[in-house]
Amino acid sequence: MVFGKGQQLNVSELGRKGAIERNLKHGSPFIKLWEDQEWRKKKAESSRQILIKINNRMSKEEFSEFCSRAGKKSREREKRIAEQIKKDYDRLFIPSRICDRIALKDNKLVFIEIKPKYRQKLRPKQEEFRQLCERLGFEYKIYSGI
């Protein structure tokens, strides 16, 4: 994850770091593996090779269906876990529904929404989140027509 002027924050990398911190605090048998950059590279490569093998054995339509099912299962798992943990929080948002980008500026988070010129009004969840950011002292910027 690289922070710098004009660079995007990789949310999955941020989530991975959060998971590592939780695992360090509460313990996990995989923590040493995830810290091992070499192991992670091998794991990513083996996953890629498995997908290539699967793709080579399937028609284009079958592979598309396989990926669709895998994505659906992943979203279902994510939803199940979110339902379990939401009682631990005052409010739980889905990032893609509240802003387009999350930036870091002067060691502060900035939430960014990018709107087209013809539709600058925020959706209800975005407006709710913008007001929450305002109350909590976070910056929520709206860019349009640049």
- Indicate the pLDDT class of residue 23, thresholds 50, 70 and 90: low
**What's the pLDDT tens digit per position in 101-144?**
999 999 899 999 998 888 878 999 999 999 999 999 999 999 98
CA–CA dist 112, 139 (Å, integer)? 8
Identify the domain containing residue 103 by its residue range. 95-144
What's the number of domains the chain is made of? 2
Q: Within a domain: residue 120?
A: yes
Would residue 77 count as lying in a domain? yes
Distance of CA 64 to the CA centre of its chain: 23
Query: Do 136 and 90 touch, CB atoms closer than 8 A?
Result: no
pTM of the model: 0.50
15 part of a folded domain:
yes
Residues 114 and 55 in one domain: no
The residue out of 55, 73, 88 marking a domain boundary is: 88
Q: Are residues 48 and 101 in the same domain?
A: no
Q: Which two tokens stand for residue 28?
A: 């996990």
Q: What is the pLDDT of residues 53-108, one digit of tens each?
A: 777 787 878 878 888 888 888 889 888 988 888 888 888 888 888 899 999 999 89
